[in-house]
Structure 1
């Protein structure tokens, strides 16, 4: 089947937030996401928590490489107590919007159904701050959302997240080179190969698996009994973002003439996307079969990328 680029909603919070910070000079969110290397792998953290992204990767691991490939720099700051962090944010806002995260999404009570921590990360663009509230563009679908400062600071402390420092923000975005989207994609290939190779010195919990082994283990777990928490994580987040990442990877690879790599990434997108229906309908044997078909594609993609197509 011919690959068709995806355009639509989805959990692309940091790519969309970066695009807002880049303003008129922003590349497409697909190119931003590609440059973070997020599409290149599958990990099963601790043998139980799946993400369709590289082994040992988290969003912060890909940010600096992405900015460099895109021709941008920014100033990142973290830590301090809540009062100092709020002062730091207020000062940075004098020069324009500020990119903030990771946040605990469960404290973002402007989103329906959010009443407390759900151990889900999120990124937003803060626009203004007064004595009572924070005004932000929330790329989950809430432009100009206002949130009481107390809720925002609880989210920003990131206490319930598995990665990231509390009170992290990026400001002073500066474009240091005019880089075309094609050149940015090309510049991101070495990082993609690195992450797909599962070469990382980042600590991982015991039992963690990557790529083919992760796909096989996840298939077995779903087949043996997909618990409520795992199913919710997959159908509400992991499958949606994983399929979109792979679809965007296929689109980007095709743009630079990597036809073989693009074909494999397109196949991955279809296999990951095909998980949604059977998981929602609890047809778990079908989902497990799709994962087993996905397993060998990671080595195939690595081989194609290493060969330069």
Structure 2
């Protein structure tokens, strides 16, 4: 497989990698991304009509990655209607950096594009807080930035993030508890991926949320049989979903190559197909995109079947 080195929307994986490095543990963002399980499957949400290439959300995926690697940690969250746990955050930051998220990107005012990013989730590493601001390493390209506490609290509430599970959420104080072998990590990860698929398969039928190949085929239907893609959908695919999908699929292929070359081969094909879909959406060649998405749906179903039958 041809390697690729470059940027990608790996905010939680990059932030977690930085957090682990503070305790002397070097774990690549690529491995953390894979073990989070966030790139497994696909999900269609009818309102606001968006397709995500994954079924597990980062709010839970970060914890799964830590568990698979043998760490223990402190995890804090709050009630969206309650007060933010700022004092506990202050105490934890006195002991070391913390991973914060999800944050609403629309309130990360050090980002010059913040005004256009409202409702998008993001994860960062915080290393200091005072009475006026919180100080961050943002893996989207903003090291050593500060954010006024008034904006931070709103971002941290994450009220407008559609797939939010937690408000006022962070991870702190990771510590190695076990040292699983590579074979153990691989076997436990595959069982975790199977569980993700099994959970979506057992979900009650719901036309508002679709999973797997059905989620992808919903977009094919919108292009071929309905009104076509709305501007928000086009922007989602053009600036985020396909390029992220390609990078994730490549990292999964690399993870599988030694112990499950059949899985790796499917993921490599998916990566190339994501790249083709990105090219077509930017060209606005929607009919060809629909055909490419149909093939992507077939690849997704094949991967689900082979990994669940393994």
For the criterion TM > 0.5, the same-fold answer is: yes
Q: Cα RMSD (Å) of the superposition? A: 2.2
Deviation at 1:303, TM superposition (A): 3.1
1:87 aligned partner: 87
Deviation at 1:88, TM superposition (A): 1.5
Deviation at 1:4, TM superposition (A): 2.2
CA, structure 1 residues 295+202, in 2 after alignment: closer, same or farther (shift >3 Å)?
A: closer
Q: Which runs of 5 or more residues in structure 2 are unaligned?
A: none
Query: Secondary structure in 2 aligned to 1:225?
Result: coil
Deviation at 1:167, TM superposition (A): 0.8
CA, structure 1 residues 212+261, in 2 after alignment: closer, same or farther (shift >3 Å)?
A: same
Query: Secondary structure in 2 aligned to 1:188?
Result: helix
2:244 aligned partner: 241
Deviation at 1:87, TM superposition (A): 1.3
1:278 aligned partner: 280
Question: Deviations for 1:29-62, whole angstroms, at most 9, x for unmatched residues?
Answer: 11111111122211111372100002xx211232
| Residues in 2 aligned to 1:201 and 1:129: alpha-carbon distance in whole angstroms | 43
8 Å CA contact 2:12–2:62 kept in 1: the answer is no
| Residues in 2 aligned to 1:297 and 1:28: alpha-carbon distance in whole angstroms | 27
Q: From 14, 18, 40, give the equivalent of 2:12.
A: 14
Deviation at 1:124, TM superposition (A): 0.6
Q: Does 1:264 align with 2:266?
A: yes
Q: Does 1:64 align with 2:58?
A: no
User: What TM-score comes out, normalization by structure 2 length?
Assistant: 0.90
**Paired residues, number:** 303
| Residues in 2 aligned to 1:263 and 1:283: alpha-carbon distance in whole angstroms | 27
| Residues in 2 aligned to 1:72 and 1:89: alpha-carbon distance in whole angstroms | 20
| Residues in 1 aligned to 2:136 and 2:206: alpha-carbon distance in whole angstroms | 34
Question: Deviations for 1:213-242, whole angstroms, at most 9, x for unmatched residues?
Answer: 111111221344211101111111111221
1:254 aligned partner: 257
Deviation at 1:9, TM superposition (A): 0.5
1:45 aligned partner: 45
Query: Secondary structure in 1 aligned to 2:6?
Result: coil
Question: Deviations for 1:253-282, whole angstroms, at most 9, x for unmatched residues?
Answer: 003x21111001111111112111211121
Q: Which deviates further from its counterpart, 144-153 or 119-128?
A: 144-153
